Amino acid sequence: MKKIALSGAGGQLGSVVRAALVARGVPLRSAAGSRPLVPLVEGEDVMHGDLRDPATVERLLDGVDVLIHFAGTSVERPLPEIIDNNLRALVEVYEGARRQGVRRVVFASSNHAIGMYPVTEHLGLDCALRPDGFYGLSKVWGEALARMYWDKHGIESICVRIGSCVERPTEPRHLSTWFGHRDLLHFLDRCVQAQDVGFITVWGVSANTRSWWDNSGAERLGYQPTQNAEDYAEAILARPNPLDALGQRFQGGGFVGIDYSRTTDAVDAAAAMPPAA
């Protein structure tokens, strides 16, 4: 059985994945940041430390086949913090993977790498990248870094542009972006078990009727989502939409309005332009 490392194991998604894999008896090493993890079972392989430190990365990846990389800043923050946690740390992680012979990295990218697309556009995996902030920009950079390490060093990467990964959808945007926990765990199983993936980017999304994203490329992994946000649509649409007008207009939702300075007329003109090639 393959040895798996999980970074960001103390975060929202990392906690879900860690608990599920430990319960299954998967050989797992879980890492958090500055706060030590409390073992879920006796003898669980846990650690913590700063991923900008090569020594921490060495401990994390020693003897590992696949890294699930969920660590990093996951919200819009000032650029220096984004650079430290999402750029510098990611380089150390890939360099550590190179030294330790890790064969595959599952990189948590984000839908915010394409958040400036209007909700009226249906996107394929080959769409132009349009980040909605410094966080989304860091994911664009991370996908490019993963591509380079495959091309130059043969480290396989699966870049997953995660939508709204919550237990159940709660707002209208989730009808298009929801990534259910059951589908997340199935997706990660396929990321570990699939053969010869090379470099691939996929949408981290369930089988939502109203999805904005064509995820046919995920067939290479054998990913077959079964959850659909439409099952919750009636209850969701009976409640007010928490997003403002700008957030409802663009796929990035609430991230779009952060430090946004264009006028309404400019927004209308941009939305009227033909889709990017």
* Model confidence pLDDT, tens digit, residues 190-211: 999 999 999 999 999 999 999 9
**Could you tell me the pLDDT band of residue 268, with boundaries at 50, 70 and 90?**
low
Task: Name the helix (H) or strand (E) containing 95.
Answer: helix 89-100
**Could you tell me the pLDDT band of residue 259, with boundaries at 50, 70 and 90?**
very high
**Could you tell me the pLDDT band of residue 7, with boundaries at 50, 70 and 90?**
very high
DSSP state letter for 85: I
Minimum mean pLDDT range among 8-17, 253-262, 263-272: 263-272
Give yes or no for residue 45 having a pLDDT over 90.
yes
Our CA angle for 152, 158, 163, nearest 5°, is 140
Write down the pLDDT at residue 118.
Answer: 98
Q: Report the catalytic residues.
A: 135
**Could you tell me the pLDDT band of residue 263, with boundaries at 50, 70 and 90?**
confident
Please write the tens of the pLDDT for every residue from 209-231. 999 999 998 989 999 999 999 99
Write down the pLDDT at residue 25.
Answer: 94
Beta strands across the sheet bearing 4-7:
45-48, 28-32, 4-7, 66-69, 104-110, 156-162, 199-204
pTM above 0.85, yes or no: yes
Give yes or no for residue 276 having a pLDDT over 80.
no
For residue 111, what are the contacts with CB-CB under 8 A and spacing of at least 6? 161, 162, 163, 164, 177, 203, 204, 251, 252
Task: Name the helix (H) or strand (E) containing 108.
Answer: strand 104-110
Sign of the torsion angle spanned by Cα atoms 253, 255, 256, 260: positive
Average pLDDT of the segment spanning 39-58: 95
The residue assigned the tokens 């010869």 is 196
Topology of domain 4-272 in CATH is: Rossmann fold (3.40.50)
Write down the pLDDT at residue 277.
Answer: 44
Average pLDDT of the segment spanning 2-16: 95
Write down the pLDDT at residue 275.
Answer: 53
